[in-house]
DNA sequence: TCCGTTGTCGCGACGCGTTCGCAATAGCCC
DNA sequence: GGGCTATTGCGAACGCGTCGCGACAACGGA
């Protein structure tokens, strides 16, 4: 065990690192968790718990997503209606905007929205993240 | 009937105006709708359908909220978990920020967030509203 | 004012997303 | 390998919101 994440500050870059973090936290590395992490890291976009379960047990998937989120390895975001979406918490954070018109999910590097975040902090003192709750509006194409 | 809202562009300033708008739209003014509007306009903050039903029928309350929303008299916003929150659509639009730490809901005049909205439009072309989906983060006190 | 039409109410049942309880299984440490 | 215990997988329950339907009542017209 060379460079394990004792208490990972924010995410892990790979499935392997995530598994190490899991071990380091005293959690067991089960087949279900391995599969979950692989599905999460392989996905090009945030997925629902149903999609991540992929035939496996849904309740366990929710429990594991919750556990992983507690370690900072996974993040979830809410759309208006419908199930929540889960994504791995990589080294660089992503933030999201969903279009009310077409349902498309737009992904940004967190740094891209620093300007908007700063404007909001100036206005009301809120430190906001558009990752847990996405920006919602109409995209350029749907306007 | 002097100054009724034939097709109200955005909200009504009082319960009375809202009732007129209801009539003008060809909808009936029932006791349930009267009570619903009074509860909405009397509330100092957005309320849940459950709170608005206040012992009355919940399904009807949802239907009425939906109808009123269709007329532009009511708006709703989502918190992360828990039920949606409904508020009357007054003359001036409000937008909201909810604190992940303490659950407080912060209310803004829409114009107060124009700066943030402009920053976001510049970055990604999205025309966002923080009214249907609030800003989410940690308020100054919970940081 | 009464009447008929039809929008609305209130009730129960349902649907979806998520969580809980519990016995059986399988990781991890010795 | 054996034992302790976290984790699994199943079923049932939950919360929020919606649907279907018979009974009622709001509104327009006579």
Task: Name the residue with tokens 């945030």.
Answer: A46
A116 touches chain B (CB under 8 A): yes
Distance between CA atoms of A87 and A18, rounded to whole angstroms?
13
Please, which residues bridge with residue B47 across strands?
A: B86
pLDDT of residue B3: 38
Note the CA–C1' distance, B86 to C20, in angstroms. 30
A126 touches chain B (CB under 8 A): yes
Question: Could you tell me the distance in Å between the CA of residue B96 and the C1' of nucleotide C28?
Answer: 48
Residue pLDDT tens, chain A, 143 long: 333 333 445 788 999 999 999 999 999 999 999 999 999 999 988 999 999 999 899 999 999 999 999 999 999 988 878 899 999 987 567 888 888 777 777 888 888 888 888 888 887 788 888 877 888 888 887 76
Q: Please give the nucleotide, over all strands, whose C1' is closest to the CA of residue B25.
A: C7
How big is the A-B interface in CB pairs under 8 Å? 98
For residue A101, the number of C-alpha atoms closer than 13 Å in the C-beta half-sphere is: 11
Q: How far is the CA of A75 from the C1' of D6 (A)?
A: 23
Largest Cα–Cα separation, chain B: 52
Q: How far apart are CA B119 and CA B111, in angstroms?
A: 14
- Cα separation, A119 vs B130, in Å, equals 14
Closest chain B residue to A99, measured at CA: B126
Per-residue pLDDT for B6 more than 50? no
State the first-to-last Cα distance of chain A, in angstroms, to the nearest integer.
53
Q: Token pair 């009570």 is at which residue?
A: B35
**Shortest Cα distance, chain A CAs vs residue B44, angstroms:** 20
Torsion sign across C-alpha atoms A50, A51, A57, A62: negative
Would the CB atoms of A80 and B78 count as touching at under 8 Å? Answer: yes
Chain-chain contact of A112 with B123 (C-beta, under 8 angstroms): yes
Q: What is the pLDDT of residues B69-114, one digit of tens each?
A: 999 999 998 887 889 999 998 756 788 888 877 777 788 888 888 8
Cα(A53)–Cα(A32) distance, integer angstroms:
9
pLDDT tens figures, B34-70 = 999 999 999 988 999 999 999 899 999 999 999 999 9
pLDDT score for B109: 83
């Amino acid at each position: 065990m060379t460079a394990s994440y004792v208490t990972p500050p924010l995410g892990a870059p790979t499935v392997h690192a995530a598994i190490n973090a899991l071990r380091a936290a005293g959690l067991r590395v089960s087949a279900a968790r391995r599969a979950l992490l692989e599905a999460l890291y392989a996905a090009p976009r945030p997925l629902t718990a149903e999609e991540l379960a992929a035939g496996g047990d849904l309740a366990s998937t929710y429990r594991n997503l919750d556990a992983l989120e507690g370690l900072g390895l996974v993040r979830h975001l809410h759309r208006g209606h419908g199930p929540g979406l889960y994504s791995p918490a990589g080294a660089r954070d992503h933030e999201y905007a969903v279009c009310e018109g077409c349902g498309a999910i737009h992904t940004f590097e967190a740094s891209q929205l620093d300007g908007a975040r700063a404007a909001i902090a100036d206005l009301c003192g809120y430190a906001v993240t558009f990752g847990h709750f996405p920006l919602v509006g109409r995209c350029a194409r749907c306007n």
